[in-house]
Amino acid sequence: MTDQTPVLSFRGINTHYGAVHILKDVDIDIYAGEMVSLLGGNASGKTTTLKTILGYVQPTTGEVLLDGVSVNDWSTADRVAHGVSMVPENRRLFKRMTVRENLEIGAYLRSGEDLSTDFDRVFDLFPRVKERLGQKAGTLSGGEQQMVAMGRALMARPKVLLMDEPSMGLAPVLVAQNFEIIERINKAGTTVFVVEQNANMALSIADRGYVLQTGRIVLADTAQALLQNPQMREAYLGEV
């Protein structure tokens, strides 16, 4: 695995909001087919990490690499076109548009191409979405919206799927169902990078995990090892 080029990596990333130092010397490597979790509490820099991957935040030093190529000066659209897509926190669907339109927007950069196989893939994962195609996205339940948000991201045929807090604002049953689906997406060959506060859930399906604390990676290991790690258990898994 080590001689492979990572699909996505951070090399010594530092970011600042004004004078505030957010990410501090962050190194992350994500390899093709992996499921990696980034764990951390509030204000640890999780969202900034995602924004840096997508180019909404420019690192002050360090490089973001996609397939080994530095993309620091690429626009967000270029990065999306290269195969990075995100399921945003709280889903953020286009509520006044239909479910079909939401999905079509997901494949915006490939508009005009035949999208039927992509639609089929989404319907396969989320049969419920097919029933709701003509409905306005704002009228769906939270769980259904989450499915559409994931479907929308998959429509772009991402190489890396970024998930921002997939458990946020959902009932525990739906959270479990959600993670099951993420696992299936990953098994089907999409690399997944999950940013989560719910460490237990995230690690139960991930291959590896990074733990972010006030902008610094404090732990990086396989999911199994992290679940066993006493420091980890104390701080994030809610055990004493």
Q: Which of 40, 45, 59, 106 binds other proteins (CB under 8 A)?
A: 106
- Per rule CB under 8 A, is residue 172 in the interface with other proteins? no
14, 147, 155 from 144: Cα distances, Å: 37, 5, 16
Please state the separation of Cα 12 from the chain's center in Å: 20
Q: Which of 41, 88, 143, 169 binds other proteins (CB under 8 A)?
A: 88
Nearer to other proteins, 54 or 206 (CB): 54
- Per rule CB under 8 A, is residue 108 in the interface with other proteins? yes
**Is 126 in contact with 181 (CB distance < 8 Å)?**
yes
Instruction: Give the separation between CA 233 and CA 240, rounded to whole angstroms.
Output: 7
CB of 170 to other proteins, least distance (A): 17
- Per rule CB under 8 A, is residue 187 in the interface with other proteins? no
Number of C-beta neighbours around residue 50 at 10 A = 22
Nearer to other proteins, 45 or 106 (CB): 106
**Is 145 in contact with 169 (CB distance < 8 Å)?**
no
- Per rule CB under 8 A, is residue 169 in the interface with other proteins? no
In the DSSP assignment, the letter for residue 63 is E
Structure tokens, 36: 């990696």
CB of 142 to other proteins, least distance (A): 14
Nearer to other proteins, 156 or 217 (CB): 156
Nearer to other proteins, 88 or 143 (CB): 88
**Is 76 in contact with 109 (CB distance < 8 Å)?**
no
Q: Could you tell me which residues are beta bridge partners of residue 211?
A: 39, 219
Nearer to other proteins, 91 or 132 (CB): 91
**Is 36 in contact with 206 (CB distance < 8 Å)?**
yes
Using CB under 8 A as the binding criterion, the count of chain residues that bind other proteins stands at 24
Which chain residues interact with other proteins by CB under 8 A? 54, 56, 76-77, 80-81, 85-86, 88, 92, 94-97, 101, 104-106, 108-109, 111-112, 152, 156
